[in-house]
Amino acid sequence: MDCEYDRDGQIRKYLLGKAQCDSQSQSDAIVPDIIVHHRRGLGREHNLLVIEMKKNAAEDACDQSKLKLLTAQTGRYQYQLGLYINVDGGKFTCTWYKNGEKLK
């Protein structure tokens, strides 16, 4: 498990179009809040879980778009699961992503 890990091997992680979603971002580089993976494992099967967390932000469109792209099975990273966690006054709301889609 790594916090704010921005690498894919020796290369920085990026998602094309990310800078357009976030006005504060100067590039398409990404830094997921938490990832669970087998470090130095070869192949996308080692990308297990990617998590984005926010406080009092039930609908952060940029993070949700990022989770869809990170879990897409046709994408570069192909995480098996994505999780968006909103912490609001001690309550946790979780939204799961798989195969580039939000699970209902």
* Residues 4-54: tens digit of each pLDDT: 555 555 556 656 555 456 555 555 677 788 888 887 767 778 889 999 998
Residue 84 predicted with pLDDT over 80: yes
Sequence-distant (≥ 6) Cβ neighbours of residue 80 within 8 angstroms: 45, 47, 48, 49, 71, 98
**Domain extent for 33:** 2-102
Q: What are the CA-CA distances from residue 62 to residues 19, 41, 84, 91 (Å)?
A: 10, 28, 11, 22
29, HSE (Cβ side, Cα atoms, 13 Å): 11
Question: Hey, what are 39's tokens?
Answer: 């470090």
* pTM: predicted TM-score of the whole model, two decimal places: 0.76
Which pLDDT score, from 0 to 100, does residue 93 have?
A: 92
Closest residue by Cα to residue 51 from 86, 103, 91, 7: 86
Closest residue by Cα to residue 50 from 68, 35, 64, 28: 35
Which pLDDT score, from 0 to 100, does residue 27 have?
A: 55
Which pLDDT score, from 0 to 100, does residue 79 have?
A: 92
Residue with tokens 């099975």: 73
Residue 85 predicted with pLDDT over 60: yes
How many structural domains are present in the chain? 1
* Residues 37-48: tens digit of each pLDDT: 887 767 778 889
